[in-house]
Amino acid sequence: MLALLLCGCGNRVPKEHIFFVANAEQWDIAINSINTKLHSMVEGSLKIKNRSFVINIIDNFSLAGTETNTFSDFTGILVTLNGEYSISLESTGNLIKIGAYQHLVLRNVTLAGFVSNDCYNAIVDVSGIKAVFTMKENSSVRNNGGIGVFIHDSGSFFMQDNASVSDNKCGGVVVDFGILNMSGGIVSRNESKVGGGVNLTKHSHFLMSSGSISENVAMYSGGGISLDQNSILTMSGGTISQNTATYDGGGINNLDKGNFTFASGSIIRNSASRGGGVYNGPNSTFTMTGGTIYGNTSVYDGGGVYNGEYSTFTISDGAIYGSSTTGIPSSFANNSGNYSAALYSLNIDTATYGDGGNILPHRDGINWGTNHSIVGRK
């Protein structure tokens, strides 16, 4: 099935490193065999291919949760889970835990969670320097009472192809001092208090070039994405749509020295009390060099974008239009509502309008380029 699988260095996986697993007992045998083989290896004397393993999942089965590293503490290993079946978590704890210098690739396999609320654990936990989790093809992480994927302490997560993280009750992806790279896939229908789809904190980085973050819900703020504590979000493609937050940032909630750069893609049809599309909170930076913010809704100010006190919003290109608030309709053409629909800012002394833009601001701090397009005010 994957006997000719190539590892990252271009070498074939040895036949003795390929396993076929149909139940929990066979899973334990495969994991124990891998750990035994790694025990027998002399550190630093082997080629990378000898640390590559393939586990072919050939039926559905369930496993008990764990708090220890799945592959002990061995470094420099690559493990691929392959197959069109699911592994389910049958108790609290993590289903799979990846440590430093370990790389797990999920290819078409579904990892399903435990239904009971457990916000302290994740289906996949990735932590440590060069700890990497990659989801490819039609792989999925879903239906957990806790977190879908938890990346922390310098770990990294790569989403590609049609991979999905969905229906998790304590957040789809949580990144705490780690890296998320999304070049495909979908994060959808997840829930959390903050950052329903993705929650970034403590100097984390999120690079989004494609894919979709949609239909996630935050009890408080950041329906689609929340970032804070010097975290960085760079969006060069993809769509953030139909996410909801009770308070701030239906699409994106940027707080506490967060830095959001929007170069391309779409932020559409999100909703919140303030900042339906984007809430740029105190001491944070939002730079828009392209892309579209369209059809977002807020109860109060900032249907498209809300720029908070002591924060900076710079736009040099792109479009903000079709925004609305749920107040009494006014005469705005493409951004409508009783409050500031397209963009509200607490950061300038006089009202500033872009080319047809609808902005209702307060003190100093919005920087305008020459090609912005905020459509709406006649």
Query: Which residue in this structure is represented by tokens 């020295």?
Result: 257
Q: Describe the strand order of the beta sheet including 96-98 as a list of residue ranges.
A: 96-98, 122-127, 147-152, 173-176, 198-201, 225-227, 252-254, 278-280, 305-307, 343-345, 359-360
**Locate tokens 């305008």: which residue?**
368
Checking phi first, is residue 31 left (phi over 0); if not, alpha (psi -120 to 50) or beta?
alpha
**57-102 residue pLDDT tens:** 999 999 999 999 999 888 889 999 999 999 999 988 999 999 999 9
Among 50, 58, 97, 56, CA closest to 78: 50
What are the structure tokens assigned to 46, written together?
């082997």
**pLDDT at residue 163, as a whole number:** 98
Coil, strand or helix at 41: coil
Higher pLDDT, 46 or 321: 321
Position 266 scores a pLDDT of 98
Q: What is the pLDDT of residues 320-358, one digit of tens each?
A: 888 887 753 332 323 444 444 556 655 432 223 333 233
The residue type found at 333 is A
Share of the chain above pLDDT 70, in %: 81
User: Does residue 287 come out as left (phi exceeding 0), alpha (psi in the -120 to 50 range) or beta?
Assistant: beta
Q: 84-99: string of b/e by CB count within 10 Å (b at 16+)?
A: ebbbbbbebbbbbbbb
Residue type, 200: L
Tell me what pLDDT residue 346 has. 53
Q: What are the C-alpha distances in Å from 7 to residues 2, 56, 133, 208? A: 11, 15, 15, 25
Judge whether 295 and 271 are in contact, CB under 8 Å.
no
Structure tokens at 107: 């290819």
The model's pTM is 0.88
Mean per-residue pLDDT, 358-372: 39
Q: Per residue in 106-155, pLDDT tens? A: 999 999 998 877 888 999 999 999 999 999 999 999 999 999 999 999 99
